[in-house]
Amino acid sequence: MSFNFDLTGTPPVPTDIATKREEAVSERAIFRQKNIRFMIGMATVTTIYVTFILVFVFPMLQQPEVGIIFYFFPHLTFVIFIVGNHLHIKNIEKPSNALDKIIKTLSEVDEEALNEVINDKELTDEMTSYMDRVAAQGRSLVYGEVDLIEKWYETN
């Protein structure tokens, strides 16, 4: 979903950036709805489970002739928690974090953040040329491009 920014290539046009950012924002909203549904589902499962424990299992534990299986029901709480947490991280949290990163990467940078990266460093011809091509499009740099410039400084 994200662009591969390249200092020697053509910068992406503002409409493409806006389209990709809006797609990521709408997908992020879908994951927020999934998160709410997941939390409601887990609360429902927990409520049913706790009710089952309180109504059926605890009274059965008072009777010595019940099977040993009833002694293990309270420990299923940990299994439900671990499985639920794993599913939440895998299906909702990781994709949401990736979308947050994409949204940040495609957001425009203010001059202050750009100056922090440049910070009195000498701009190379590739950087100046790229920044001029971006300015010719009538837009400011996005964080993905600033990260690219920062990496360029580190490697060269």
7 Cβ contact partners less than 8 Å away, ≥ 6 residues apart: 126, 127, 129, 130, 148, 149, 152
Query: How many structural domains does the chain have?
Result: 2
The model's pLDDT over 89-132, given as tens digits with 9 standing for 90+, comes to 999 999 999 999 999 999 999 888 788 877 777 888 888 888 88
Q: What is the token pair recorded at 72?
A: 């293990």
Structural domain that includes position 120: 108-156
pTM: 0.75
Could you tell me the sign of the dihedral formed by the alpha carbons of 32, 34, 37, 38, in that order? negative
Length of the chain equals: 156
φ, ψ for residue 136 (rounded to 5)? -65, -25
User: Are 26 and 103 contained in the same domain?
Assistant: yes
- Would residue 5 count as lying in a domain? no
